Amino acid sequence: MGKSTYGTVYKATLEDGSQVAVKRLREKVAKGQREFEAEVGLLGKIRHPNLLSLRAYYLGPKGEKLLVFDFMPRGSLAAFLHARGPDTPINWPTRMNIAMGTARGLLHLHTKENIIHGNLTSGNVLLDDGVNPKISDFGLSRLMTSAANSNVIATAGALGYRAPELSKLKKASAKTDVYSLGVIMLELLTGKSPGDAMEGGSGGGAGLPQWVASIVKEEWTNEVFDLELMRDAPATGDELLNTLKLALHCVDPSPAARPEVEQVLRQLEEIKPELAGGTAGEGGGGGSGSRGGGGDESTTGTGGGDSSVEATGPPTAED
């Protein structure tokens, strides 16, 4: 299904016919087995409607490490926005729901789990059947070596989501996550990929935040928005402008000037109050169970209830 700095993701079909996503971590990027098991056990208990649940993990005899997640048939927000045809427009309420849901998931990570994402992009915001967002790859930095995490930060910079201070500090924070959230909001508003802007497309080689700021400075603000959104501008114009202002606040070059994610969510809900209730989702997880395989192999289900996945060996993966 795709590759990332962490590893390769496959779609796997289990014996009962259900499908899951399996991330095979690259060799030598993960911590040792004991540390890995301790951290992954904690990650498997995290449940929130806007976070992709870790259902199980597998440790193989040769050091293989697999993570098993819910499968999201609609794929990533990046593909949803940028790989669609001209006859599949995305309306404003749908885009705003994605922005709010992503903010809710990030708020839960920051305030309830004490987790900094560190690599938030539209590529790891996944969409369920109802086009509700689920943040993936959260907490993976806890499973990785420091060298692997440095590579992730560098990759985020190449894609256009990295806060400017990370070029020196090399350590993600709540404010760098807010910067990445702001870039995703700009992506939803403009319909443009941050990577395309950096490669010299409409952004002229600058990042998406810099391109948007330059257009706004010249008072050509309407030129910023995706043409699809401008069709309903008489009804939604104020909402678009207020969301744009908030997104630019999130990508302020100064970390101290950026809002906390709680403020971002509150303002989004004030802009579009009819979506403020959030989306229905899963309840809390609990406990964990494991089932050992032969030798050094083990496959462990994490979380609670019937939602966890157990297997006696690695799932059969298909690209």
| Distance in angstroms (rounded) separating the CA atoms of residues 24 and 79 | 21
- Dihedral sign, CA of 190, 195, 201, 203? positive
pLDDT tens digits, 170-206: 788 999 999 999 999 999 999 999 977 655 444 444 6
| Distance in angstroms (rounded) separating the CA atoms of residues 308 and 289 | 9
| Distance in angstroms (rounded) separating the CA atoms of residues 284 and 53 | 11
**Of 139, 160, 185, 117, nearest to 36 (Cα)?**
139
Tokens of 124: 């790891």
| Distance in angstroms (rounded) separating the CA atoms of residues 36 and 12 | 22
pLDDT tens digits, 46-97: 999 999 999 999 888 877 888 999 899 899 999 999 988 777 889 999 999 9
Consecutive H or E run containing 198: helix 194-198
Strand partners, 68: 22, 56
DSSP for 275-315, please give it: GTT----------EEEEE-STT-EEEEESSGGG----SSPP
Amino acid at 117: H
Predicted local distance difference test score (pLDDT) of residue 319: 39
Q: Which residues contact 98 (CB under 8 A, 6 or more apart)?
A: 77, 125, 127, 131, 132, 133, 188
Consecutive H or E run containing 15: none
Diameter of the chain by CA atoms?
Answer: 66
Tokens of 27: 């060799």
DSSP class of residue 260 equals P
DSSP class of residue 5 equals S
The torsion angles phi and psi of 242, rounded to 5 degrees, stand at: -65, -35
Q: How far is CA 145 from the centre of its chain?
A: 21
Residue 151 has pLDDT above 80, yes or no: no
Give the pLDDT band of residue 145 (cuts 50, 70, 90). low
**Mean pLDDT, rounded, of the chain:** 80
Q: How far is CA 64 from the centre of its chain?
A: 24
pLDDT tens digits, 226-247: 999 998 888 898 999 999 999 9
SS3 84: coil
Averaged pLDDT for residues 286-294: 34
| Distance in angstroms (rounded) separating the CA atoms of residues 102 and 48 | 11
Looking up tokens 């795709």 gives 2
Q: Which residues contact 238 (CB under 8 A, 6 or more apart)?
A: none
Predicted local distance difference test score (pLDDT) of residue 232: 84
Tokens of 149: 């995490």
